Amino acid sequence: MVSDLIEVRPDEGFDVAAVVRWAETQQALPDEVPDVLQFGGGKANLTYLLRYPDSSELVLRRPPLGPVAASSHDMSREFRVLSRLWQSFDKAARAVAFCEDPEVIGAPFFIMERRDGVVVRGDVPAIYGGGEDPVSNRKLSEVVISTLAELHSVDPASCSLDDLGHPDGFMERQVNGWARRWDRAKHEENDLADEISGWLTDNLPRSGPPRLLHNDWRLDNMALSPDDPAQCTAVYDWDMATRGDPMADLGTLMGSWFDPGEAPGELGMMPTMVTGWLPRSDAVALYAELTGADLEHVDWYLVFGAWKLAIVLQQIYIRWLRGQTQDERFQHLDEGARHLFRLASDRRP
């Protein structure tokens, strides 16, 4: 089994005793003292494994350290979604308790069940052939698309999420909101980033009927069966979930779906250049086949996805630059952001 578990980073620990005292007030939680490990692979919200003396396990989620955009690290939203979505989408872990009091560990957090599986990041792990098995590689690329299509087929009313978010004007708010985040996170000017923002606004397509959105869909936000890379066992990181234009999820995914020659290896968030992995155009076509989506304006969403991901990387980088996190993985993300802005520009029709 491939595992992201590490010892808790020194600057990312929390008061375990305070969590235990709070848990004593929650009927759904054990009141024992757990051992705590950290899931080390993510770059934003902090996620911890709570392992109890009876070997049962739960997961604690909290926002990253330092000032953050509340709308992108909304523990209340994520808890609400995960306390309901499991009823209609079996890849969603069930959330069981929420703490809105920041005095307990310094930020709101929630507790959910643990869903195990293999998380695939920049490289294909040995359990799936280490990138040398084109059949496994193709399955990895297809499961990302097929599971997204499955989510977009869920009726929000079936799990009492039909009042989630504000679908009207969703994409316009997305463009304006991410542009504001860029302004707050940038440490240098980038005329291309601003130019793309204007282009997105000027060419905004009309959205179709709203669906449930994950809003940060990527392979490394999924867990897969160790026996079969075509089987998804869990989808993680629902803090930006909402209802809106489903093509936004596809665009976000395609923001890091690089064809050969498009991005340096260190920017690879998915192993998209291994033999057998679906080219981006084929992946988009598979999504349309599974959902019936209209691809007339798909290029706009591809530009949006790369531009948005650039801003996400810049937000993480600025936290490192300001000393709000000591994680050295983040020290060169500004270079990744600049590259993605150029890639977004190149994807304009």
* Structure token digits, residue 67: 């000032």
pLDDT of residue 121: 87
pLDDT of residue 290: 98
pLDDT of residue 268: 75
* Structure token digits, residue 112: 């959910």
- What is the percentage of the chain residues whose pLDDT exceeds 70? 95
Q: What average pLDDT does this structure show over 145-159? A: 98
**Residue 1: is its pLDDT beyond 50?**
no
Q: What is the DSSP string of 191-260?
A: HHHHHHHHHHHHTPPPP-S-EEE-SS--GGGEEEETTEEEEEEEE---TT-EEE-HHHHHHHHHTT-PPT
Q: Which domains does the chain have, with CATH numbers?
A: 5-113 (3.30.200.20), 126-346 (3.90.1200.10)
Under 8 Å between Cβ of 215 and 249: yes
Q: What average pLDDT does this structure show over 109-119? A: 94
Under 8 Å between Cβ of 44 and 316: yes
The model's pLDDT over 7-58, given as tens digits with 9 standing for 90+, comes to 999 889 999 999 999 999 999 999 899 999 998 876 678 999 999 999 999 9
* Structure token digits, residue 250: 């596809």
The model's pLDDT over 204-228, given as tens digits with 9 standing for 90+, comes to 999 989 999 999 999 999 999 999 9
pLDDT of residue 329: 84
Q: What is the DSSP string of 136-155?
A: HHHHHHHHHHHHHHHHHTS-
pLDDT band per the 50, 70, 90 thresholds, residue 151: very high
Q: Regarding predicted confidence, which is higher, 328 or 193?
A: 193
The model's pLDDT over 271-311, given as tens digits with 9 standing for 90+, comes to 999 999 999 999 999 999 999 999 999 999 999 999 999 99
Name which of 138, 185, 160 is nearest 310 in CA terms: 185
